[in-house]
């Protein structure tokens, strides 16, 4: 027996005589082509339901580059470097608004902090525009800091029990968006900033679970408020889109916390995870894309030492991982070496030139016995082009399989296999298979599709936390 529906708390929906309740949509999918077939059905539905007006831009987000240190000189240098790489959109993250010098205060006061930005955001936005890039801004509208003017002036707007707000999480509490005055405040405050700065993109964060999410007081006393909160959020997003038709919004719920079909009807991208470690990200992206097409899954090239895990990885592996989603950069590239800048620039040009394939093709995954190795790729609808990533996450207990087959290809075609140089060197353990050197040359390595799809080829044994990209073109 299968079922699905909304998880309602007692008393959350009360129907009077003649009233009705409409459940959220629940989708079931079936395929005779395994998980890849299931994913392809969801991807096609999502692409058809809200088709993109243009390619997903290459993003640079400032968070892991500067955190709360909003210095105009440093940010300006970051913009100039991003323009050199080929970035198409800059997103100014947390720390720009009133009272926000760390994560303990300010949420809810959505006005520019004049102590940090005495001339407003205009100088920064102007530099972004002059460099030919779009401008995005971070918000967390559904949350509030108790140390904020909003919370001090309107404690009745908190989504919390009348008896008290309880324990904070990340120094924040939930704002009752369903409260008409709170809703109006958010709509007007965000719209004013969108209009003033011509904001192209909002990173809409949501860093706390809705614990003790109850509407305060009233004749009936406290009552659960998650459903009303959700519907109010949808209405707010819809109204912002109606007021600003060109505005794009990313759903970022601490990364990966709100990635569902309801939010996707109202947003243009999701931040897949706050964990930017490419080893973790390979699996995170693999399972996220069962539901969402890769062009909606934000994936950024971070610093060598990951912000969340402290793991150190080579640049080539970070580039490989970000390429197979909605790629971006979240790294203080003002400190990059000249070699790193060149490699980022080559990578950016490559992923932008293959965007139609990466963000419009069919995602496929090989079935491998070794859980530490992955072969995943994107194949064009006509099966004339494909990009595959051969990845090793960690050391394996047993020997590598001698041959690996490539899913999704046309068995009746020949393919030319090439190794793009945009990702830099790959760390290989031991001797490489002979065909790999030929694949690095201009003419590539020609092989029948039936061999790739049925017999497979011997792939190199990679060092842990390494990846190799193979580009296949029908001969």
Q: Are 53-361 and 363-474 in the same CATH fold?
A: no
What is the value of pTM for the model shown?
A: 0.96
Dihedral class, residue 322 (left if φ above 0, else alpha if ψ from -120 to 50, else beta): alpha
Distance between CA 140 and CA 191 in Å, rounded?
14
Q: Under CATH, which architecture does the 363-474 domain have?
A: Sandwich (2.60)
Tens of pLDDT, residues 345-358: 999 999 999 999 99
| 224 closest CA partner among 13, 19, 22 | 13
- Residue 429 sits at φ, ψ, to 5 deg, of -95, 120
Domain boundaries, the chain: 22-51, 53-361, 363-474
Tens of pLDDT, residues 201-243: 999 999 998 888 999 876 678 999 999 999 999 999 999 999 9
Fold (topology level) of 53-361: TIM Barrel (3.20.20)
3-state helix, strand, coil in the chain (%, to 5): 30, 20, 50
What amino acid positions are annotated as catalytic residues? 205, 274
Tens of pLDDT, residues 291-301: 999 999 999 99
Average pLDDT, the chain: 95
Mean predicted confidence (pLDDT) in 299-316: 97
H/E stretch holding 363 reads strand 362-365
Tens of pLDDT, residues 416-473: 999 999 999 998 988 899 999 999 999 999 999 999 999 999 999 999 999 999 999 9
DSSP 465: S
Tens of pLDDT, residues 378-412: 999 999 999 999 999 999 887 766 799 999 999 99
Q: Which two tokens stand for residue 145?
A: 């800091």
């Amino acid at each position: 027996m299968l079922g699905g529906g909304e998880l309602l708390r007692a008393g959350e929906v009360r129907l009077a005589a003649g009233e009705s309740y409409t459940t959220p949509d629940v989708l079931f999918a079936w395929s005779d082509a395994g998980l890849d077939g299931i994913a392809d059905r969801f991807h096609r539905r999502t692409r058809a339901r809200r088709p993109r007006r243009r390619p997903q831009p290459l993003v640079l987000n400032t968070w892991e580059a500067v955190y709360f240190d909003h210095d105009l000189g440093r940010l300006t240098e970051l913009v100039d470097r991003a323009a050199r790489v080929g970035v198409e959109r800059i997103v100014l993250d947390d720390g720009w608004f009133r009272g926000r010098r760390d994560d303990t205060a300010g949420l809810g006061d959505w006005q520019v902090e004049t102590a940090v930005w005495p001339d407003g955001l205009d100088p920064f936005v102007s530099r972004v525009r002059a460099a030919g890039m779009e401008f995005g801004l971070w918000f967390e509208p559904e949350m509030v800091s108790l140390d904020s003017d909003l919370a001090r002036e309107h404690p009745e707007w908190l989504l919390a029990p009348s008896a008290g707000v309880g324990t904070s999480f990340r120094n924040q509490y939930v704002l009752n968006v369903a409260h008409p005055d709170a809703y109006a405040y958010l709509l007007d405050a965000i719209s004013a900033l969108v209009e003033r700065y011509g904001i192209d993109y909002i990173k809409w964060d949501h860093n706390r679970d809705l614990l003790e999410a109850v509407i305060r007081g009233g004749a009936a006393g406290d009552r659960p408020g998650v459903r009303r909160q959700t519907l109010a959020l949808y209405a707010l997003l819809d109204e912002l889109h109606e007021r600003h038709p060109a505005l794009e919004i990313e759903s970022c719920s601490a990364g990966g916390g709100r990635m569902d079909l309801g939010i996707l009807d109202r947003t243009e991208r999701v931040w897949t995870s706050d964990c930017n470690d490419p080893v973790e990200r390979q699996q995170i992206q693999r399972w996220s894309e069962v539901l969402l097409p890769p062009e909606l899954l934000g994936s950024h090239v971070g610093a060598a030492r990951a912000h969340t895990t402290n793991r150190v990885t080579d640049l080539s592996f970070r580039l490989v991982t970000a390429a197979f989603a909605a790629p971006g950069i979240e790294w203080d590239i003002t400190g990059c070496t000249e070699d790193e800048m060149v490699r980022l620039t080559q990578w950016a040009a490559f992923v932008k030139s293959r965007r139609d394939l990466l963000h419009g093709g069919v995602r496929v995954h090989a079935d491998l016995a070794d859980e530490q190795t992955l072969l995943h790729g994107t194949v064009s609808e006509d099966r004339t082009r494909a990009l595959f990533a051969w990845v090793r996450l960690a050391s394996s207990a047993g020997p590598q399989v001698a041959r690996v087959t490539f899913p999704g290809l046309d068995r009746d075609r020949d393919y030319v296999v090439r190794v793009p140089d945009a990702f830099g060197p790959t760390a290989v353990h031991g001797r490489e298979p002979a065909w790999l050197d030929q694949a690095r040359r201009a003419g590539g390595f020609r092989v029948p599709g039936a061999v790739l799809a049925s017999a497979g080829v011997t792939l190199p044994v990679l060092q842990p936390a390494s990846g190799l990209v193979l580009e296949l073109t029908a001969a």
